[in-house]
Chain A
Amino acid sequence: MKVTILEWHAVAAWRWDAPADDVCGICSQPYDSTCPKCKYPGDDCSIVEGECTHTFHMHCIATWMQHDPKSQCPMCRQDFKFKGENVAQEPQGEEGRDVGEGAAV
């Protein structure tokens, strides 16, 4: 028997490359969800990893770094530096503007 496919729908799901059951240490929301200030998960509310390997929602760690004069990682108290340049340069759009300050510290 020969089957001819006339139409098909692809369904895909995405998730961040982080342990599935893990939550952001600052807001306690899952990485695949958003920080408490955002509505939609995805590029507008990304996650970032520090050189110390600790991961947070970008907005959560940015809020903390604006508050903490020493800009230390909340987990290990080392200076928090974004791991890899591409992550730090990523958000240039409307949503990214308010975190730019935190990221540059």
Chain B
Amino acid sequence: MFASKRLSKELQKLQGTLPPGISLISAENFEEWLMDIKVMDDNPLYRNEVYRLRFRFGSSYPIEAPEVTFVQDPSHPIPMHPHVYSNGIICLDLLDTSGWSPVQNVESVCVSLQSMLTGNSKNERPPGNDAFVRTNRQRPRDINFVFHDNKV
């Protein structure tokens, strides 16, 4: 109830005007939405690419953070970033219990991720990416992320 009322408000707004580079792809229900983001400047790491985000909402959203990951398909790669694992899992305090606030919303999360990419110049995956991607079976919400980088 909490989630659906708030999400229907958000959906109304997302179907109107959105910030440049952010678009709503699908929102068939109040459990899972797809959004596309595009980096608007000339950052060579992300030029001419569109990245797809999957938002998963629990019934107590926005008290609990949505689960947000990049998804890969033939036309949408996983962006190269020191906080984005190659399986699409994002390490960002905003999306974790410690940094989430219920005044955040789908649009503001997209804007934050867009600016996280814009500001990055490292063509790198997080340390331990290969092992993490190979072994991780946990959902992002169950992972204990350690946030150490205040520059993002």
Contact = CB atoms under 8 A, between A and B. Distances in A.
B interface, over-half SS: loop
Nearest to A29: B5
Given A36-B2, A74-B102, A29 B9 contact: yes
Chain A interface category by residue count: 10 to 19
Contact of B5 (A27, A64, A72, A77): A27
A interface, over-half SS: loop
A75 B1 CA distance: 22
A99 to B, nearest CB: 14
Interface in A11-41: 25-29, 36-37
Contact of A25 (B63, B64, B102): B102
A102 B149 CA distance: 33
B6 A36 contact: yes
A9 interface: no
B106 to A, nearest CB: 11
Interface in B108-125: none
Interface of A: 25-29, 36-37, 60, 63-64, 67, 72, 74-75, 77
Interface of B: 1-2, 5-6, 9-10, 60, 62-64, 101-103, 105
Given A28-B5, A28-B10, A29-B5, 20 more contacts: A25-B103, A26-B62, A26-B63, A27-B2, A27-B5, A27-B6, A29-B9, A36-B6, A37-B1, A37-B2, A60-B102, A63-B2, A63-B63, A64-B102, A67-B60, A67-B63, A67-B64, A74-B103, A75-B101, A77-B101
